[in-house]
Structure 1
């Protein structure tokens, strides 16, 4: 039975750390070995710091996958669709690897990142190192409860992880869209609570869905429409902030790559009969990229050389 990367369906943590890396030329063989070692390393640290609830996720980008694992490609593994318009822009990153570390202790994240970097130093170039945090009682920096429609309990695994009956070789894997979104906090904070709730589609205090006219065109309404069309995803979001920038770092996981496209087409109103997510009027999507998160079983088998190109 495939062993999935535990960071995919893990419960929310207090701290998140993210590395976006490019792999240096000619390092494919050694990186096949070291990607499996990263997760083994984190498992050992998780046992040592058991109270920290440490987990990790290692993803390989759409454009780099064939360099690393040329013998097999996840079905319909696609790049992030170009949904930019005159109203909303998306900035992409050319990172080959995404490494996420989350725990309830910032010092444990630091220890894990240091050991991961020591393991892959000399084989990769780090493009970005980002940090996220849990804000208040699980809210966005908009002040609203984050992702109220997120799958919970056993449904998380069903939504996020590929079933062995669908694709045995990639069982336990997951498609993921990674992105950072930056909030125009100054403009957002000038809106009244009533105006913000109309945009979000649910109450700021307790996240109860709004019943007002036009709810279907709210941020929550876009989620509901995407879910109705098969765009069911698992979101992992953490607040991101510096003195100058405010927003979030988000990972959207799914067992079906088309669900990601459906979800984002709905939010960007690709179809003429749709209204774009009004929250996007206050956001810029930054550092976006598509990755695949293979199971630990797949990574370990590839490291051993168990797979061969046909």
Structure 2
């Protein structure tokens, strides 16, 4: 594929930004007749982020917005992104990747929780009864980039031009240059069962050492199952944006997983290997301790696309 270098009209939303220490995730469905209000909010999103974040320039506030397949035609009509489709539920022999309702996705990032909260509250206020919020998660960075299972997360993320190559649509779909596909899942962990394993057993499940994050040669491990190669043997990459969340008083410990990708085929292939297994490996042994409870696929249009609706 040619490297996606967007024009001014196709500048991406902040998909490629550095990981934040705080995030909020909102998934909502649009009520009948709510489309005009949603278009107005999406078109003015960049200005709203600037307004909320302006008094705190070091807060790093930003927001990525995505639209689901079922809502795209209602909001924007045709043409539509070439590979936008509903999330495909996967029912394996032991594990389920469910498909859940979702027309809109907001990924709010900042260095401070108050900024994320303020932007989320303003989005919900402006959308009001035109949408129903289906899921709301406040996430955070945990120690040295670890998840709540104690392992470093996101090690294999591409950086620089490789990140743009992996995450942004290019000339293969010129009307949506600079966009990205966002596959979104919420996982809940059985921490008690996980902590009952010896560290060596945990490392065999993950395929990395727990303390030093070094790769281990463990066929069938989580790392092995999630490594997908193309016909030429080149590893197919995505841009992962997973963050921990939890409510200890409710026994809730989880990971909110977002995969930004140039094409949804890559993360979908990973999920099929994880949940269904196949001749090349899987199912993922981590799923014995980590259960998917949501599943959505969104298209993240370029910032220029959204601002064109404001104009």
TM-score scaled by length of structure 1: 0.91
Contact 1:231-1:258 within 8 A present in 2 as well: no
CA deviation digits over 1:55-110, x for unaligned, max 9?
10111112221211211111121222222223102233212111121111011111
Matching residue of 1:307: none
1:5 maps to 2:10: no
SS in 2 for 1:259: helix
- CA deviations on 1:279-307 (whole Å, 9 max, x unpaired) are 11111101211111101111122344xxx
Q: How many residues are aligned here? A: 299
Match of 1:241 in 2: 246
For the pair 1:95 / 2:98, whether they are aligned, the reply is: no
Q: Which residue of 2 aligns with 1:295?
A: 302
2:91 and 2:276 in contact (8 A); partners too: no
- Could you say if the C-alpha distance between residues 82 and 93 of structure 1 is closer, same or farther in structure 2, counting changes exceeding 3 Å? closer
* CA-to-aligned-CA distance 1:27-56 (integer Å, 9 cap, x gap): 223321221212321133334322111110
Residues 86, 220 of structure 1: CA spacing in aligned structure 2 closer, same or farther, 3 A cutoff?
Answer: same
Structure 1 residue matching 2:90: 3-state secondary structure: coil
- 2:160 & 2:150 partners in 1: Cα distance? 25
Structure 2: gaps spanning 5 or more residues: 1-6
TM-aligned CA deviation for residue 200 of structure 1: 0.5
Residue in 2 that maps onto 1:258: 265
Q: How does 1:140-159 map to 2 (within 5 A)?
A: 140-159=147-166
User: Which shifted more, 243-252 or 269-278?
Assistant: 269-278
Specify the alignment match of 1:77 in structure 2. Answer: 84
| Residue 120 (structure 1) aligns with | 127
Instruction: Please give the root-mean-square deviation of Cα atoms over the aligned residues, in Å.
Output: 1.7
1:200 equivalent among 206, 222, 237: 206
Map of 1:148-227 to 2, 5 A cutoff? 148-163=155-170, 165-211=171-217, 215-225=218-228
**Is residue 206–residue 286 contact of structure 2 (8 Å, CA) maintained in 1?**
yes
Runs of 4+ in 1 over 6 A off after TM superposition: none
> What is the CA distance between 1:250 and its match in structure 2?
1.1
* Paired residues of 1:231 and 1:262 also in contact (CA < 8 A): no
